[in-house]
Chains A and B, each alone.
Chain A
């Protein structure tokens, strides 16, 4: 399904003048943003800047009051249901690790991997050889081979984050929305995560929300700063850190 995304002009995600308000609070304010195919983009901004709301809009969880959101050239994301957005090839990793705690690691992967998510197919679905090989490959990438029959609820925090990233990859998405993947990770886990995300960029487009500035610097070429629901600055980490608006907002006048 994800092959059908038209990125001939190199654009993976296009948002224009998106507005969202909750009970008078303007969560997104004329937000416009473009992501190129294969790009790894970091999104930074204080709490309430609109990072999560933006991801909610992209994944169909929140409907904006106005604006446009396109996936590739041809898919209007505002017309899609949440489950369809996922099947079109947009995967999301939440801030808090959410894995299915009462399922084993392998079952978690199988849930993410099943290609068609229909009810009738689910009655008969069993991973075939190719899919089993893919799951083993993912387990290896995540370093979870030995734990494949453990209940996911018994994993450590870092392992859950890994499993969740593995589940994302099992869906083979074109666009990955990743919310603070290294929060609560040890330095070595953080490093491993950075390696992984870098290796995924190119084939996948990644939008990463992160507070850890060192981590952001080690990863992304382009950084977008959100403030009060719109884009405050965009550019390299160096540019952004020297941007007068950013300095004003973050350090105060």
Chain B
């Protein structure tokens, strides 16, 4: 159940990538960063909920801070006692990063592969930063040993089931939101600028604002996905920032089928299921299998699994 709940959280991440890449043609290879930031925000709240039940029993500070001999809670941890504040940060922190990054990139008309490389660099830089103990996010170990969320024991089967249902509802809501966005005039403009950007500009659309809007929205969605993922995974650490994660997320969308939304969900769930199975058999070979799948998908299934299904039906 937890496993499947995690898949659904990753499906939300896939939706956010598909909206950006499939509909607007912007390939972010750093979406894992937004996912991880949302996850860290949620993780910080879960750390606060541990209270004095940590190994050191310190009611004020999380274990890793006690271990580092810190005397007081750093300012950026303030507010994370509140669940509402945390929910806001889950969306706001990724949104702020996406806004700053996107504003600079789109204004200077950075696009295509250059943009993708910059997003890789962004997530890599964040990974290195979060590895440092001085950052105050638990260093290499990250945040873990969560006890409960809003007073509900995270280990209990009922709460786990509840988390799964909650993730499923969030996925449905995200799907509905993305769908209505892509079917609105806004969505039409996104597809237009994906296919013929100069033309869109000549029609009078400030293209960079549209890109920025969809990039920020997509980052927020990725943040929400991360926040749903972390309580079910039970841990968040800097490895979530590694570039490979972002690439894998994009590959899932490509395999499922770009610019369809439902393809992204299908890709996320099926590739993750395959991964779980495959890594049980050959733990070392997963990356090769993933690369192989990606090549097969782009070569033989340009519309992904979804395209294959619709073709075989007709």
Contacts and interface: CB of A to CB of B under 8 A. Distances in A.
Interface string A98-124: 111111000100111010011100111
Contact of B185 (A86, A94, A126, A171): A126
Nearest to B190: A122
B187 to A, nearest CB: 9
A110 B188 contact: yes
A123 B185 contact: yes
A87 B184 contact: no
A238 interface: no
A86 B203 contact: yes
Interface string B164-193: 000000000000000001001110110110
B204 interface: yes
Contacts of A198: none
Contacts of A87: 204
Interface in A43-94: 59, 61, 81-84, 86-87, 91-92, 94
A167 interface: yes
Given A98-B196, A103-B191, A111-B192, A117 B186 contact: no
B235 interface: no
Contact of A100 (B185, B186, B191, B206): B191
Contact of B210 (A81, A119, A124): A119
A109 B202 CA distance: 14
A110 B212 CA distance: 22
Nearest to B191: A102
Nearest to B180: A123
Contacts of A114: 185
Contact of A123 (B184, B196, B199, B202): B184
A92 to B, nearest CB: 5
B24 to A, nearest CB: 12
Contacts, number: 76
Given A111-B189, A111-B192, A123-B185, A81 B206 contact: yes
A119 B195 contact: no
A112 B185 contact: no
A229 B228 CA distance: 61
B204 A117 contact: yes
Contacts of A59: 202
A112 B200 CA distance: 9
Interface residues of B, number: 23
Given A81-B206, A110-B185, A125-B185, A100 B196 contact: yes
Contacts of A171: 203-204
A83 B205 contact: yes
Contacts of B186: 119, 122-123, 125
B213 interface: yes
Given A100-B195, A111-B189, A125-B185, A119 B201 contact: no
A100 B202 contact: no
B101 to A, nearest CB: 18
B195 A101 contact: yes
B53 interface: no
B202 A86 contact: yes
A119 B199 contact: no
Nearest to A113: B203
B209 interface: yes
B207 interface: yes
A135 to B, nearest CB: 13
A87 B204 CA distance: 5
B207 A122 contact: no
Given A86-B201, A110-B185, A100 B192 contact: yes
Interface of A: 59, 61, 81-84, 86-87, 91-92, 94, 98-103, 107, 110-112, 114, 117-119, 122-126, 167, 171
16 contacts: A82-B201, A83-B207, A86-B201, A91-B202, A98-B196, A100-B195, A111-B189, A111-B200, A119-B186, A119-B209, A119-B210, A122-B184, A122-B210, A123-B186, A126-B185, A171-B204
Given A100-B191, A125-B184, 9 more contacts: A81-B206, A82-B202, A94-B199, A103-B192, A110-B188, A112-B203, A114-B185, A118-B206, A171-B204
Interface of B: 181, 184-186, 188-189, 191-192, 195-196, 198-207, 209-210, 213
| Pairs of residues from A and B, 4 with the lowest C-beta to C-beta distance, nearest first | A86-B204, A125-B185, A122-B186, A87-B204
